[in-house]
Chains A and B, each alone.
Chain A
Amino acid sequence: MIEVKNLTKRYGNTLAVDNISFTIETGKIYGLLGPNGAGKSTTMNIITGCLAATSGEVLINGYSIFDEPVEAKKYIGYLPEQPPLYTDMTPAEYLYFVAEAKGVRADEIPRAVEEVMEETGITDVADRLIKNLSKGYRQRVGIAQAMLGSPEVIILDEPTVGLDPQQIIEIRELIKSLGRDRTVILSSHILPEVSAICDDIIIISHGKIVANGPMREISSSLKSETIMDITVKATKDEVTSVLSSISGITRFEITETSTDASGVSTTSAKVHYPTDIDLRETVTFAFSDIRRAVISMTVEESSLEDIFLQLTSDKAAAFDDTANSDNGDNDNVSQENIFGSNDVSESSGSSFATSNADDELEDTDDADDESIYSYNPEDYLATQDKLADYVDADEDSLDDDDNNDNNDRNGKSVNASDNTNDDNAHGKETK
């Protein structure tokens, strides 16, 4: 079991890892996910004792990696991003050396080396020089090296980078088989890879954990939105009023509107709603009720990658805002929604604002995403403080805004774009 507590790593003025805490339990495959430069490798290097931390603590089976490194390292096998191979040796020689250096008993070394070579499928190339091996085989030798000394935890840093698709599949299979009787932590910047292999994932962005939990939970919540593109023979106003009246729509935006020579208007819109409901019929009937024809309708689920990218790039901006917060309103919106339930349709009312469609989109997304992830206790407390401040400060204006709030939640348009965020927040509070 590995406990990481308040780990921080600074390179000069750059904060590579920012006060992260998590626990790795025995017998699961963990995925450390994040874009390049998010702090994955740094975190792994610190856990394995290759790098010292600026502050914080890492406990491996109760041994601190900083205070009792020799004892702690016995429980860990590590494959760094670039396999640490001596290219002038053969895999057999190399593994023999690693086993010896890890303190495997002399009479057990040949058997141990034989075993890991079999498990990783490198027996055939055991006597070829490592420098003549392909990248896939080198990676296997690297994994075999990590497995020696039967460590409880195997840590693999981007194990499939630079491999061809066939090799990637093989390495994934290998990792899955490793996970049967050991704890495996692997890092990756490819979401589907992690979702294919791991039980639990930890998403890191800009040195902070933005999501942490079982794969199933996170992936189901990540897929939580359906986007419907519709084109209707109607004016912009008609489309707006019809869509606003449909409950269940998270938000929508008018993408295009045109009027031809005979005066018939055509309007296109993007409608977002939760995946667990199907609004295709409702929308069609709503337009047919006012005798307007839906001339095209396509439905797509937002892809995992899209949301992951949004989560790891926008999130940083949102976090930065929170950190040096003086623009309290925006903060309150995103923080506020942390307390929202998992039901996306409830946690953020439908809203419509053509003038600042982009801002709106970003904020709402953040809110949605944040509501579904677990947070550090500190973050949680900080949020509560903020919330309290917010309530105090804006108590008076609350009543005045009430009407707007309701409108907003019901999907009516809010004209004053500046207020949109505030209104959203107030809506929550009045509940």
Chain B
Amino acid sequence: MLAIYKRELRSYFTNMLGCAFSALLLAAAGFFSAQININSAQSRLEYSLYMLVHYCILIIIVPFLTMRSIAEERHQKTEQLLFSLPLPIWKIVLAKYFAMLTVCLIPVVVLCFYPIFFSFYGTVNFVGAYASLLLLVFLIAAIIAIGMFVSSLFENQIIAVIVSIGLLLVLYFLTYIANSISSAAVTSLIAFCCVAFIFGLIVFFTTKNETAAVLCGGLPVIGLIAYYLSNKNAFIGAFAEVVSYLSIFDRYKETVINGLFDITALVYYITIAVVFVFVTIQSVEKRRWN
């Protein structure tokens, strides 16, 4: 496992992807920090980190790091080497995941020095700055897991990067979209049913099993309708509420802007990372069954 981790890490720096990623992230963070410090006279790192999220910088650059993780192995046929190694697949996927995480930690380590520099020239809220940085690491960990999963679905890394960015943008604007639909109870019901239907479709296309798809898509719909009939009021504005609760990026904004370190956000990011690493393992495993 360590061997794969080391090889991955090295490859990110031999093909410049890791360097470019660090450089871009640091350039963006540096630019935002300078802006906030000079224009707004605020020595707050957390605001510049927030800008990274708010202006979709992370959403755009992290997928470039994750795009090749598994798609490239498939493209180069090196996955056959990995499959024939006496290593379980979960170790291989985890090694790749941690290698990407390590690449991301490099610019983060540099960012750790920012508050110290700021403190020479003004008062710095160290707790706020480092807490935001910590949460950012976990946010990145979640994004990497999502990107790696998308990469495991494709053989072409360009498609992987486009789909990853698209998916993350949808997640980013999800609250916005959810808020724009009417908060009437029926609308919520329809929206939930659509989600259940899409879930059923995904199950169908991944498993090709009609019964499972109908169960996964149909049962929630029946449950939703039954619940709707018994308690209509619960559905008023419920969809927007659930969506904003599940939104990955809004939680980060809340933490930084309100200055409240949200432990549930941390747990939520870890959960997302674990879930997507798990489905990546399944997706790679599934390749052997095709």
Contact = CB atoms under 8 A, between A and B. Distances in A.
A128 to B, nearest CB: 14
B88 interface: yes
Given A82-B77, A84-B77, A85-B78, A50 B83 contact: yes
A11 B83 contact: no
B7 interface: yes
A103 B86 contact: yes
Contacts of B81: 78, 80, 84, 98, 145
A274 B268 CA distance: 78
B222 interface: no
A86 B85 contact: no
Interface stretch (A65-73, A118-126, A160-168): A65-73
Interface residues on B, range: 20 to 34
B76 interface: yes
Nearest to A155: B84
**7 tightest A-B CB contacts, nearest first:** A100-B3, A84-B81, A101-B3, A73-B86, A50-B83, A80-B80, A78-B84
A100 B6 CA distance: 10
Interface in B253-290: 288-290
Contacts of A145: 81
A86 B78 CA distance: 7
Contacts of B2: 100
B80 A86 contact: no
B87 interface: yes
Q: Is the interface of B mostly helix, strand, loop or mixed?
A: helix
Contact of B86 (A52, A70, A86): A70
A97 B7 contact: yes
Nearest to B72: A86
Contacts of A100: 2-3, 6
A102 interface: yes
Contacts of B11: 86, 88-89
A220 B211 CA distance: 55
A48 B84 contact: yes
A236 interface: no
Contacts of B3: 97, 100-101
Interface residues of A, number: 29
Residue from the set B14, B79, B86, B288 with the largest chain A CB neighbour count within 10 Å: B86
Interface string A91-105: 000000110111100
A143 to B, nearest CB: 13
Contacts of B209: none
A359 B78 CA distance: 47
A166 B268 CA distance: 60
Contacts of B288: 49-52
Q: Which of B6, B7, B88 has the most chain A CB within a 10 Å cutoff?
A: B7
A348 B165 CA distance: 69
B20 interface: no
B230 interface: no
B60 interface: no
Contact of A87 (B4, B6, B76, B80): B76
Contact of A74 (B77, B83, B86): B86
Contacts of B83: 48-50
A100 B8 CA distance: 13
B15 interface: yes
Contact of B84 (A76, A86, A97): A76
Interface in A378-416: none
27 contacts: A45-B80, A49-B84, A50-B84, A52-B289, A69-B86, A69-B88, A70-B87, A71-B86, A73-B84, A80-B77, A80-B80, A82-B77, A84-B78, A84-B79, A84-B80, A85-B76, A85-B78, A86-B7, A86-B11, A86-B76, A88-B11, A88-B15, A89-B7, A97-B3, A97-B7, A101-B4, A102-B85
